[in-house]
Amino acid sequence: MKVIKLKIRGMTCLSCSASVERLVSDLEGLISQKVSHKTDSGEFMIDENLLTEEELIKRINQGHYKVDLPEKENLQAQIEIPKCPICNKSGLLVPNSVFKSNLKQENLGKINLEAKNYICLNPSCSVAYYSKNKKLTIDKSELKRELWFKNGIKRKIICYCNNIDTEQIEKAVNDYGLTTWEQVVLKYRSKAIEKCEILNPTGYCCRENFDNVVKQITKKEN
């Protein structure tokens, strides 16, 4: 048995910690894990006969959150992410917990929840999700809500957990001087929801993107 302690970048809330744990939960040889967004760290107990530290780190790095690696190893981790079969651009591994809340009911049967699935990040591509073996693609029209980064969307949702879009953020910033995720969400909702690994179509926290939108709005006003 071996205990591995890692510094993990990009976590900002409890949902982020849960997302990291979900990413590695199916690895054979993982005995226990404890991930904390407050300390930007994770502690993992592994069976060295079944799982290596390098394999654990590569799995985390396939998602939105990152463990720093030497340049050569980091490149290899990126190479292992399959490209979208339609646009041939690199995607992002998503937790399979996102599909029930983001796919239309009639499309849920298309997803193999035992396999790895990815989201296509190319704004001009019509594909929303695809599988590791590239035999499955889910079109963006098959989702309940639009992907905020795809071209031609009608409503740009930034916080999917609380259904907050760019127009609402802009109004909160310009009319009420609100600038943080908590302030803006509570302007429109009585209670903030943080279930990004389920409600966000990427499976990851929106806060970094949210902060970037606020910065763009304040910069435009200045």
Whole-structure pTM value: 0.76
More confident residue, 154 or 74: 154
Q: What percent of the chain has pLDDT over 70?
A: 94
What CATH code would you report for 91-142? Answer: 2.20.25.270
Amino acid letter, residue 25: S
* Predicted pLDDT at 69: 64
What is the structure's pLDDT at 22? 86
Q: Is 15 or 173 the better-scoring residue by pLDDT?
A: 173
Helix axis angle for 166-176 and 181-188, nearest 10°, is 100
CATH fold of 157-221 reads Arc Repressor Mutant, subunit A (1.10.10)
pLDDT tens, position by position, 151-170: 999 999 999 999 999 999 99
pLDDT (0 to 100) of residue 152: 94
The mean per-residue pLDDT over the stretch 55-72 comes to 77
- What is the average per-residue pLDDT within 79-107? 90
Domain 2-79 identical in fold to domain 91-142: no
Q: Which two tokens stand for residue 167?
A: 């127009």
Residue pair 51/192 in contact (Cβ under 8 Å)? The answer is no
**CATH (residue range 2-79):** 3.30.70.100
Average pLDDT across the chain, whole number: 89
Residue by residue, DSSP assigns 72-108 as: HHHHHHHHTSPBPTTT--BEEEE-GGGHHHHB-GGGG
Cα–Cα distances (Å) from 56 to 13, 29, 43, 201, in that order, read 21, 10, 11, 24
**Would you list the domain boundaries of the chain?**
2-79, 91-142, 157-221
